[in-house]
Amino acid sequence: MEIKGCIFDLDGVIVDTAKYHYLAWKRLADHLDVNFTLEDNERLKGVSRMDSLEIILAIGKRKLNKELKEKYARLKNEWYIDYISKMTPDEILSGSIKFINELKGAGIKTALGSASKNTPLILKRVGMEKMFDAVVDGNIVSRAKPNPEVFIVAAGMIKVKPEHCVVFEDAVAGVQAAINAGMICVGIGSRKVLAKAHYIISGLDEMNLKKLKEI
Ligand code: B16
Ligand code: MG
């Protein structure tokens, strides 16, 4: 297979914002009297904001009407924005910039494919707003991973057919979205969790052009 495009998830692949999502969700869970643990937080990775709230409510066996759900999702996001507004380029995960520049040098197109509506703010804070040939996020697409929409739209924007794209993902829902898009998926994390990924690494610092071509 000839690789012509690489699509990167944001949270967990380029930056570690999962810790900030956790702090903000934990604060909301405490407020709602729901016992929410770090282990529970794993289930929220790659999942949309409203679906994440639904998971937390299910954990606490709580039921809320639509207005209250919207209110709490907004509140969580305000707290989350307080955290990410203080992010710096030091928070870019190791190996990301080096690998993306290597791809560019080889003429391989790059795109970002994230569920987060806060993608523009995060990219700005870490100084990566001009890094990718295309950015597709939760403001552009409406169907959450594992729906493949985010990756299909990204491939369209960089004008590469899905079968020539490789996706880098850290979440179960994201790996499934890449597979649903008909793309090769490199999972970032553990083989046990990301069982469906075609290849597993622990972070982009383990990846380079030579390895990519051997996949
Ligand atoms: P927001 P990714 C995802 O980002 C996160 O992994 C997930 O935990 C979060 O709920 C989702 O974005 C929505 O984020 O509330 O900022 O719109 O992994 O797809 O880059
Ligand atoms: Mg992710």
Answer with the one of 31, 61, 84 that is the final residue of a domain.
Answer: 84
**Site to substitute for ligand 1 among 116, 140, 153, 170, most atoms within 8 A of C-beta:** 116
Atom of ligand 1 nearest to the CA of 52: 10
Give the closest residue (by CA) to ligand 1 atom 5. 46
Answer with the one of 84, 113, 138 that is the final residue of a domain.
Answer: 84
Q: Do 97 and 177 share a domain, yes or no?
A: yes
Q: Is 40 a catalytic residue?
A: no
pTM (whole model) above 0.75: yes
Answer with the one of 50, 84, 118 that is the final residue of a domain.
Answer: 84
Q: Do 136 and 202 share a domain, yes or no?
A: yes
Q: Do 183 and 99 share a domain, yes or no?
A: yes
pLDDT for 195-205, tens place per residue?
Answer: 999 999 999 99
What's the domain range around 68?
Answer: 18-84
Q: Mean pLDDT per segment of 10 residues, for the chain of length 215 residues?
A: 96 94 97 94 89 97 97 98 97 97 98 96 98 97 94 98 97 95 97 94 97 93
**Site to substitute for ligand 1 among 8, 26, 44, 49, most atoms within 8 A of C-beta:** 49
CB of 123 within 6 A of ligand 1: the answer is no
pLDDT for 50-90, tens place per residue?
Answer: 999 999 999 999 999 999 999 999 999 999 999 999 999 99
Q: Is 82 a catalytic residue?
A: no
Closest Cα partner for 21 from 90, 88, 82?
82
CB of 172 within 6 A of ligand 1: the answer is no
Q: What pLDDT was estimated at residue 43?
A: 87
Q: Do 78 and 42 share a domain, yes or no?
A: yes
Give one DSSP letter per residue of 21-76, joined into a string.
HHHHHHHHHHHTT----HHHHGGGTT--HHHHHHHHHHHTT----HHHHHHHHHHH
Task: Provide the domain count of the chain.
Answer: 2
13, 93 contact by CB (below 8 A): yes
- The CATH number for 203's domain is 3.40.50.1000
Q: Do 64 and 104 share a domain, yes or no?
A: no
Q: Do 70 and 126 share a domain, yes or no?
A: no
Q: What pLDDT was estimated at residue 42?
A: 85
| Average model confidence (pLDDT) across the chain | 96
**Residue 136 to residue 146: CA distance in whole angstroms:** 15
Q: Do 196 and 107 share a domain, yes or no?
A: yes
